[in-house]
Structure 1
Amino acid sequence: MRIRIRHEISQNFEPGSRNMAAIVRLTPRPHEGQFIQRWTLDVDGDACLHAQEDAFGNCCHSFSVEGPADSVTIIAEGEVETQDSAGIVRGTVERFPPALYLRTTELTLPEPNVVAFAQGVPRDADPLNHLHALMQAVHEAVKERPDTPNGDTISAGEVLRKGAACSGSITHLFTTLARYLGLPARHVSGYFATEEAGNVRHWAEAHVTDVGWIAFDCGQKLCATENHVRLAVGLDALGVAPLRTSGTGLKEEISVRTGRLLRNGPARNPPASNPPVINPGAGGMQQAQSQQQS
């Protein structure tokens, strides 16, 4: 499936602000089932993008604006070809062993209500079956609400108390449950596309011995499909936020569309260890481009 994506983020600053710095995680990496056909990343104003990788192997860009400036706009745009892998994730950049993803954060603490919820799900000796049971239980217990801008999420315990949350917060609950039960789980940001419209979305990946990483979208009660585009991974929503700055007044405009792609054979995925080629522009709109041909 061919998926076309345009993600624009505008961030306001205090009037007359100087020396603003930002980290951007808006560049997907290829893996089995996800091939980046083209991708561009633009930032307005007098700023230059610097490509790098974070600790988890996500493709990031940093930039600074020396101001005075009142706002900055970042535009990520491109096309991604996806193939259904039944939720199994292979060929990704892995910087750490799965056991690292048993770590908790402030948003994924096993509070007493979360522990009670985990113990209330009948235990299955097969960890894969138990993960599916956890997804089913989370889906039934929490109503999904539209995602809020830039990872404005709540903790796993708060999700259960409210009974309704965005996909990022629901993911906090699932990863907390899995980690409490000794199953490594991590947080994923990305996009979900349909023929009519799509949006940003968060889901989880849990590790099962002899199988590997498997993607669980609890809000939709399904393993990730060809409609999912994987963007970044981390321990929680803060670790995969598309934009981290000191600004306020965030505004996002997102367009995600699908289109069936006809071809003579399967796309050839480049090695996941190769990051996109970055070609910063000079002056005006600075551009980072990724061109990978099938």
Structure 2
Amino acid sequence: MKLHIHHETRYDYETSVRSSIQRLYLMPSSFATQKIVSWAIAAPGIDKALVYTDGFGNQVHVITSQGPHDHVTVIAEGVVDTQDASGVVRGFKCQAPDSVFLRQTTATEPSPELSEMAREAAAKHPNELERLHAIMAELKERIAYRIGTTYFHTTAAEALAEGKGVCQDHAHAMLSIVRFLGMPGRYITGYLVTEADDPATASHAWAEVLVPNLGWVGFDAANGKCPTADYVRVATGLDALGVVPVRGSRRGGEVESMTVAVTVQPAAEQ
């Protein structure tokens, strides 16, 4: 399936900014079941950006804006050709050892409730793949998808205790449990088109877990399924904080506001 993505992030400032710097995690990778047909990033300073591949296999752009300005706009847009592999990720290159993804972070640190969920799942489901599907299903039931009920710094433990959250919270909770069980898990950002004629309006996040004898497999607890051809995979990290699509700092500029607009839909046939 060919999907067209348009992702626009805009920062506005009440007073003039003297200079700003932004780090972008907006470049999808090509691997066995995902190919970049076209992709471009438009932003101030993108022509002189520092571009590098980090230890998790992400292509990162660092851009700077010099001189007085009252806003910064970053647009990533392109077409990606995807295939359904039942969530299995093949051919993606990540230099970091798998053991790095056993590391809990502030966002994923397990609470007693998360730890108990992990122990119960391990006791009921000796088979790792069945266990992971059961964990995913339970998280979908116990954390209702509610936009605006959690914040960027909400932890997995807090989301589970509140019983509501968004895809970031589902991914953090999944990672908390699998890492507690000794299975490497990584946080993934990307995009999802929900229906053939229904454009998405936000970026998405899910977890990937290293399954014995199978490899890395995606688990989207927010939707209760493994990623399909409706998903575009962009960045890999330990949690949401490590792979914010656009993140930066500035000199000057008071009262920052940010707006994000994302559309994901099937690409028009040429």
TM-score w.r.t. structure 1 length? 0.83
CA distance in 2, matches of 1:182, 1:189: 22
CA distance in 2, matches of 1:85, 1:208: 15
CA distance in 1, matches of 2:213, 2:118: 24
Letter of the 1:212 counterpart: G
CA distance in 1, matches of 2:149, 2:259: 10
Which one of 239, 255, 262 corresponds to residue 254 of structure 1? Answer: 262
Specify the alignment match of 1:197 in structure 2.
199
CA distance in 1, matches of 2:244, 2:50: 17
- State the Cα deviation string for residues 186-237 of structure 1 (Å, max 9, x = none): 1000000132212311000000121100000001110000000000010001
Q: Structure 1 residues 148 and 35, CA, compared in 2 at 3 Å: closer, same or farther? A: farther
Letter of the 2:25 counterpart: R
Specify the alignment match of 1:135 in structure 2.
136
Contact 1:127 1:208 (8 Å CA) reproduced: yes
Specify the alignment match of 2:218 in structure 1.
215
Structure 1 gap ranges (5+): 263-294
CA distance in 1, matches of 2:226, 2:48: 38
Contact 1:204 1:215 (8 Å CA) reproduced: yes
Q: Confirm or deny that 1:228 pairs with 2:231.
A: yes
Name the SS of the counterpart of 2:175 in structure 1: helix
Contact 1:87 1:225 (8 Å CA) reproduced: yes
Greater shift, 139-148 or 228-237, is seen at 139-148
Letter of the 2:17 counterpart: S
1:73-92 matches, within 5 Å, as 73-92=73-92
Deviation of 1:144 (Å): 1.1
Name the SS of the counterpart of 2:124 in structure 1: coil
Contact 2:46 2:63 (8 Å CA) reproduced: no
Q: Structure 1 residues 93 and 71, CA, compared in 2 at 3 Å: closer, same or farther? A: same
CA distance in 2, matches of 1:205, 1:112: 23
CA distance in 2, matches of 1:76, 1:142: 31
Contact 2:44 2:64 (8 Å CA) reproduced: no
Specify the alignment match of 2:70 in structure 1.
70
Q: Structure 1 residues 71 and 89, CA, compared in 2 at 3 Å: closer, same or farther? A: same
Letter of the 2:205 counterpart: H
**Identical-residue share of aligned pairs (%):** 33
Deviation of 1:116 (Å): 2.3
CA distance in 2, matches of 1:46, 1:238: 23
CA distance in 1, matches of 2:148, 2:87: 22
Query: Over the residues paired in the alignment, what is the CA RMSD in angstroms?
Result: 2.2
CA distance in 2, matches of 1:71, 1:54: 28
Letter of the 1:182 counterpart: G
Specify the alignment match of 1:126 in structure 2.
127
Deviation of 1:71 (Å): 1.4
Q: Confirm or deny that 1:117 pairs with 2:120.
A: no
Letter of the 2:117 counterpart: F
Deviation of 1:91 (Å): 0.5
Name the SS of the counterpart of 1:222 in structure 2: coil
Deviation of 1:148 (Å): 9.1
Q: Structure 1 residues 261 and 13, CA, compared in 2 at 3 Å: closer, same or farther? A: same
1:34-113 matches, within 5 Å, as 34-44=34-44, 48-113=48-113
Name the SS of the counterpart of 1:158 in structure 2: helix
CA distance in 1, matches of 2:99, 2:6: 35
- State the Cα deviation string for residues 142-191 of structure 1 (Å, max 9, x = none): 11123899x82521100111100010111000000000011111100000
Structure 2 gap ranges (5+): 251-255
